[in-house]
Amino acid sequence: MTRAELLYAAAAFGANMLGAVALTSRSRSVRALDAVLAFSAGFMLSVACVDLLPEAIARHGAQAGIVALASYLLVHLTQHTLGQHFHFGEETHAVSGVVSTAALVGLLMHTFVDGVAVTSGLLVSGLVGTLVFMGVVLHKVPEGLAISSLFLASGRGRRAALLAAAALGTSTVIGVIVTAQVPWLRENGLAVAAGVTLYVAASNLVPEFQSKGGWRLPASFVAGCGVYFLARTLGGG
């Protein structure tokens, strides 16, 4: 595990915890969260379409497309079969303990692949790794907020909510470590990351804000795309 991988994994863990602490301490703004979700969606969609998927296809051809599609479908099944109630936002209704636990289990695969994505990006170049990391960390705060909110809504205490967010952060760290050790993930990690990143951006984050009116959220979404290209240009990409 390189120093960059270690630092990125630790930062991703910290972002999950930041979201949980913000929720459990009541120092949060749902209005600000919507803008963060929209911005994150634009940035992540750009990373997946411009860096991850093209690079994976260039290396492995049609096989990469198949792996990306399979990864997309697998995350869909885990999040909408196991964790049917999960969404990237504050939970305002009471839910059962089974629902909150199922959401956590469904998210663990997604957060594991966040780690796969970071390591796979770094294997391409420092720039790609950094861009992937930026996309990952942007949605980590609302992710930590969402899972802790679900645990609180199920009647569990602050400690359980924080532990749930810590589990997601730990899963990302494990993804970073395992990818560096498992040949199949090193070979196919880009395609896996592309499929999961596309899912999170287009199927998780975009629906959270697209039904809300006004220009602020669409502007945040476009800004996320713009900042991605700016960061890519400044990095020499």
> 17-41 pLDDT, tens per residue?
988 887 777 654 555 677 888 899 9
Q: Whole-number mean pLDDT of the chain?
A: 85
The pLDDT-based confidence of 178 (bands split at 50, 70, 90) is very high
pLDDT for 77:
82
Rounded Cα distance between 129 and 147, Å, is 26
> 93-131 pLDDT, tens per residue?
556 667 778 878 878 888 999 999 999 999 888 999 999
Q: Are 79 and 106 a contacting pair, CB within 8 Å?
A: yes
pLDDT for 20:
84
Task: Say if residue 230's pLDDT is above 60.
Answer: yes
Q: Are 160 and 87 a contacting pair, CB within 8 Å?
A: no
Task: Say if residue 200's pLDDT is above 80.
Answer: yes
pLDDT for 16:
87
Please tell me the total number of residues recorded for the chain in this structure: 237
The pLDDT-based confidence of 50 (bands split at 50, 70, 90) is very high
Query: Which segments of 106-212 are extended strands (E)?
Result: none
pLDDT for 53:
94
Q: How far is CA 227 from the centre of its chain?
A: 18
pLDDT for 6:
82
Residue 142 CB contacts under 8 Å (≥ 6 apart), including other chains: 19, 33, 36, 37, 40, 88, 89
Q: Which residue has the higher pLDDT, 24 or 228?
A: 228
Task: Say if residue 68's pLDDT is above 90.
Answer: yes
Write a three-state SS string for 84-146.
CCCCCCCCCCCCCHHHHHHHHHHHHHHHHHHHHHHHHHHHHCHHHHHHHHHHHHHHHHHHHHH
Q: How far is CA 229 from the centre of its chain?
A: 19
Rounded Cα distance between 96 and 88, Å, is 18
